Amino acid sequence: MKTNMTYSTKEQAERMGTAEAAKLTRRGYPTTLLEVRPVRIEALALDGQSPSEMGYVKIASDRWEAVLS
């Protein structure tokens, strides 16, 4: 299963989405870039200096996703 790639800027998502669509089309799968949409990714990260202080902290990141069809 392929996961969607996310990018840090809208322009980068448009450029990479267009390139990926062109690559798939060359390989025989007619593909086009439908849209670029904002997504919010939440992940856990370790925080603390020593093992006894370490704990998980939820961090969020705003990214851009290229939607292909």
Q: Is residue 38 part of a domain?
A: yes
pLDDT at 2: 58
Q: Is residue 1 part of a domain?
A: no
pTM exceeding 0.85 = no
State the Cα–Cα distance between residues 8 and 65, nearest whole angstrom.
9
pLDDT per residue as tens digits for the range 13-60? 999 999 999 999 999 999 999 999 999 999 999 999 998 899 999 999
CA 25, chain centre distance (Å): 21
Q: Is residue 23 part of a domain?
A: yes
pLDDT at 63: 95
Q: Is residue 29 part of a domain?
A: yes
Q: Assign residue 62 a region: left if phi > 0, alpha if psi is -120 to 50, beta otherwise?
A: beta
**Following CA atoms 42, 45, 15, 67 in sequence, which dihedral angle do they give, to the nearest 10 degrees?**
-30
| Domain count within the chain | 1
